[in-house]
Structure 1
Amino acid sequence: MVKQDINEKHQVYEHYYIARQPIFTHSGKCFGWELLFRNAEDLSKAVFTSDAVATSQVIVDGLVRICADLNPNYKVFINFPKEMLDRYFSLIVSKNQCVLEILETVTPTEHILKEIKAIKSLGYLLALDDYVGSDFHKEFLNFVDIVKVDFKELSTNEQKKLVYNTAKKINKSLHILAEKVEDNEEYKFAKKCGYDLFQGLFFQKPELIKGRKVPLHTKSRVSFLQILSSRDLTKQELEKILQHDTALSYRLLKYVNSAVFPQHKPIQNIPQAILYLGIIPLQKWILCCVLAASCNNEIKSELAFLGSVRGYFFQWIASKNKKLNTSDAFSLGLFSTLEALYEFPFHVLFDAVPLQDDIINALSFNSGPLVDWMRMIKAIESDDMLVAFELLKKLNVDDPCQAVRKYQEIYIARRSDFYSYAM
């Protein structure tokens, strides 16, 4: 039998850092913000080994945090490296708010251009980053909506004007953005040339946003990568992956209910989230989460494991007594360790996740009809069988002994396959 022994003084989370920098129109109004990866080692700039890792962290950690504070009419610019210029990766973010920036390192191959056309056909805005007028990037100009001209790399005003004119000649409908504008003289010249949008230290240096998250366990991350990179998954396989990980499930529900997407009916459980995002986009989102993960934490792993065991056990009980929807029963168990995982009160965490009211009341305020479920599971885990049997009977479980044996079976089964998600 297992006892829950959680020392909440342990830091079971890790910090993440995202910067944002505003982009202004010709009239001086805010058009949007570019999101920039940052890390703890050097907060003044981005230090990373992979563009895909940096973008993944911006999407899964930064986007929800940033969009919650922004006017929904503002655009959010996100760098998309070659590895992520995939129509299904684009579906992770909102086409109404996000602008996908093609990095200057991307080569306009036939495959890349095909994917860009597909992304554009879905209604997304595309931008070309750090353009300096090279022939290498000209093929992109007929497909993107915005071209970001790198003023820092263009030393003379003649070059800045020539690049503007060249881009407009190729595609008259382009919006030309002057980036890395560092003083008033550059700003005035850019406006005189006809540039539409402006970004740089002259207006505002990148603003650092700090948050914290529960990291994925190292073994989980390796297993995830093997599965997610090898093939398309089924709905059932995705549900199984998410059901193994409390933090990942919570982040998914928080994400799909955030300001990243247009307003919609609250999504309260994993099957609804899969239906909303779609199987392939969700697989890409999980892959982004895995790429963004960077820490091994055994305390977090045990908490996630315990939540998973409770979820499967509650689901089994719900299938027997019919008092609670099985998906809601699983959510109650899975999220019951969330407070210890994040070291935040339940009621704060659930502000971003619209779970069923009875679940929120039971976990946040120890009230409502589901309180007995939590009292029962804690009694089982602390070997208080007298209380556990009494509460199981109260939940209309005909055979409390069988229920306790079922909990032990689930615990053993989950322990054996907790780090193997391809079952």
Structure 2
Amino acid sequence: MFAFIAREPILDQQKNVFAYELIFRDGKGGTFPEELGSQKAQYIAEHFHPLGLDDISGEKTSFINFSSDTLISRFPTTLNPDTVVVELADNPFNQAGLLEACQHIKQLGFKLAIDDPMMLSSKHEIFPLIDVLKVDVSKARFEQIEKNIPRFLDSEVRLVAEQVNTYDDFNTCNTLGFDLFQGYFFAQPEARIMRQLPASKLNLVDLMGESASSNFDLDRINSIIERDAALSYLLLKFINNPTINKRHKINSLRHALTYMGEVEIKKFIALLSLANLGDDKPLELIHMSLVRAKFFDLLSQARNVSTNPPIGFLVGLFSLLDALLDQTMPDVLKQLPLSDNVSDALLGKTDEFNCYVSLVRSFEGALWMNVIKQSKNLNIDQKQLHGMYNQAITWGNGVRSAISSYFPRAVARA
């Protein structure tokens, strides 16, 4: 049970999520925290929407850092070796008792990962225990990696490149032979020739415009959806998914309006548009957009920002459009009929939403001091902010699950 946590995706060579590395605010250096006292645990449970590992990682593997002291004497017995990779937070070379602790953890069925920018010698006694070797490519030279990597390619050790923050880094590491890639390279535009949105996406563009309008023209929205039989089918399938709608069987957009209301329909058609607009991109990029959308929506409600149209939701949802469409944000917005309020926020012209963007990036990157700073700027208790972000993660996991069945190419397991 955890209340204060961040996660960073680890993707495979097809850019599907293989796992998340979890970073704990309560643990030294992001490590797994010490056991909470029962009183503190109860207080967190009642106030801050704590998550379990399944909630955080959405049925993916969790990489968790452990201090050597925890591994040697206080390793938690509740973790599942089928879904958790144990990562060594400390240098294993001189720590008394750590080798024996690692041997015990392996006997329990856990996989073991180690951070090593110098790439561990196969002669080291801990080498046979290692399942995953992680290399911070921002600290190691590619020439050094290329020299040392052959001895791992013939072993059963999986190689993770860390701090992969551009597509150039991803392509280089992929060529070198890394299996997995940790970092936010996929949230950056790929370098491509400037292109206009294809005609096949124009229906989605129209829907995005309607979602950001202060007016609600149901006939126009219906006409847009009816132009595209596949989109109409997807809408009904998606809107009847239990994650989205647990109460009623919906058979038309008009029917949905009766039960969901105007604001929720606007959120839904924006979400549907984005998911289809980015159908050739890693699903994790859509997932990040979903979490941001819900988080910004909750922040907007707490700050009494206008909710019709749901500007906070839309700004969060569309905040990665540049990466989704491989264009600069100004070029993207020239092609979309979004309101001035939404466009200005996406261009960084609105102080309110600039705070939201800074805050969500802090949660994504475990920049806890900036969470405290933005808490003061927004006049929202930082623990309440953690609760909102946890709620957004849970919601995003649920919607991702609903979306993934319609885009099976994006979720093949490694």
Which category of TM-score, normalised to the shorter sequence, fits these structures? 0.3 to 0.5
Structure whose alpha-carbon radius of gyration is higher: 1
TM-score (norm 2): 0.38
